A = this chain, B = another copy of it.
């Protein structure tokens, strides 16, 4: 009898693709995955395949198509929800969560910022949060701040809850907000344990 185990492929989404040393972070993320028996697929690694002479908009769109193909070939995703240019996750990562969720692939999540959503939005607005007559909080633009005590927008929290149930958060030092992989590694351990079953 032959036991044949194929390593699970995990799409590694997050705003760290925008770091100047994204490739190095990607290599470290892939190495952590490998130590836990997973194959990490890091978006920025795929971008090398594109001709840098291609006009910019076409190049961006070609990368998007390649990322969608890469996601379809993955068994699960680990997404970094650390807030990016605002109190919520990176929109590219949020897009990818929805994509993987619609395909029925489990979404494992982590954030290097453990503050509650209301606290993050309040800090983002410089404290200028008001109460509506209904009791709900709103920001200075009059937009409600979701009251559900979830980590981020309910669609993001819902996709994690309905698939892996794994959302790990811890606040790291500000200088390491996008580079620390301590919380990521805990998430990899959980993903590996779940995907082995």
Contacts and interface: CB of A to CB of B under 8 A. Distances in A.
B20 A67 contact: no
Interface of A: 15, 18-20, 56-57, 59-61, 63-65, 67-68, 71, 84-92, 94-103, 121, 124, 132, 138-139, 141-150, 152-159, 161-162, 177-178
Number of copies: 2
**A contact patch SS:** helix
B102 A99 contact: yes
Given A57-B149, A60-B157, A65-B162, A102 B98 contact: yes
B98 A153 contact: no
A132 to B, nearest CB: 6
B56 A142 contact: no
